[in-house]
Amino acid sequence: MRILLANHEVLLQGLTMTLALTLCVLVIATVFAALLAAGLMARHPVLRRLAQVISEVMRDIPLFVTVMMVYFVAPSFGIGLDPFGATLVGLGAWGAANGSTIIRAGILAVPAGQREASAALGLRPWQVLRLVILPQALRPILPPYLGLTTQLVQATSVGALIGVRELLRTGQIVMERATVMEGGLSPFLLYGVILLIYFAICSALSALSRRLERRLGRHENHTMAATPQAETSQPGALARLRIARS
């Protein structure tokens, strides 16, 4: 324990790198997941097929192989990436492929009648998406997407294989220092602490997912309770739109 306390700054730097890498990956993955999901639902067959191929290939290739391919193959095409950048691209591509299926499933979970009724009310396609589809799709999307986020947190450890000084890599550095300077350190103690840190992060994300899901459920129930009886025969989102337009 004394050795861990003496190297707490190194472990803290690794934790900071893990959180920064996770945040960057999450932003990139979310943006491209939305684009891929739009491609998967596109009417144009070529665009839809291209999105399907990209999504399927990225989900089927092991994450370790993807990161290694980016790190070692990209320079052959004149794209030099450092370990952080290669891990960011590899994890982002993997997260986008998996996130696109979650977003697509959440949007398709909204009944088709919602779109038809919205069009009948004179809403434009982007208004239908923003006011009707996305608010209802958020509830089925949110829990699995936060689950994907916990997977991305765990997957950042792959970066240790190519030199990213994230949490796992800094743990290895502490182990090497302790072996040279102190005569050794219990691997069980060191990696047990690292395991607890990962567990705390992922548990916090899981708790956030449950809290947001309950909040969305209460908001939906409150909205439905506030809707006049004459409007409750319509689905919730369309009822609110009719009230707003009246």
pLDDT interval class at 56 (50, 70, 90): very high
Determine whether 61 is exposed, middle or buried from the number of CB atoms within 10 Å of its CB (0-12, 13-18, 19+): middle
Tens digit of each residue's pLDDT (9 = 90 or more) over 16-50 = 999 999 999 999 999 999 999 999 988 889 999 99
Question: d(Cα 172, Cα 153) in Å, to the nearest integer?
Answer: 18
Q: Which of 62, 28, 60, 20 is nearest to 156 (CA)?
A: 20
pLDDT interval class at 129 (50, 70, 90): confident
The predicted model scores a pTM of 0.79
Q: Do 167 and 12 touch, CB atoms closer than 8 A?
A: no
With b meaning 16 or more CB within 10 Å and e meaning fewer, what string describes 137-162?
bebbbbbbbbebbbebbebbbbbbeb
* pLDDT exceeds cutoff 90 at 52: yes
Tell me the average pLDDT across 47-56.
93
Q: Which of 194, 174, 168 is nearest to 21 (CA)?
A: 168
Q: Specify the number of domains making up the chain.
A: 1
* pLDDT exceeds cutoff 50 at 184: yes
Max CA separation in the chain (angstroms): 78
Instruction: Give the domain extent around 136.
Output: 2-245
CATH number, domain of 155, equals 1.10.3720.10
Question: d(Cα 238, Cα 165) in Å, to the nearest integer?
Answer: 50
* pLDDT exceeds cutoff 90 at 174: no
Average pLDDT of the residues of the chain: 82
The per-residue pLDDT for 242 is: 52
* pLDDT exceeds cutoff 60 at 74: yes
Tens digit of each residue's pLDDT (9 = 90 or more) over 215-236 = 776 656 554 454 444 333 444 5
Query: Angle 120-123-126 (CA atoms, 0-180°, nearest 5)?
Result: 135
